[in-house]
Structure 1
Amino acid sequence: MMNKKFTFVPYNPNLKKFAQNLRKNGSKAELVLWNKLKTNQLGYDFHRQKPILGYIVDFYMPELGLVIEVDGISHVYKAEDDVNRDADLIRLGLTVLRFSDNEILNNTEGVVNTIIDWIERHVTSSPTLPRGRANNEHLP
Structure 2
Amino acid sequence: MALGATPPVSWVCAPARTSGARLTLGTFATMEQAARAYGAAAWRLGRHHQQLNYKDCTSLEEAEFLAGFDNLVTAEQRLRRQQLQRRLAIAETDERTMEAWAATFPQDVLDEHAFYAQKKAERRANK
In terms of Rg, which structure is larger? 2
Relative to its length, the structure with more helix (as a share) is: 2
Q: With a CA cutoff of 8 Å and minimum separation of 6, indicate the structure with the bigger relative contact order.
A: 1
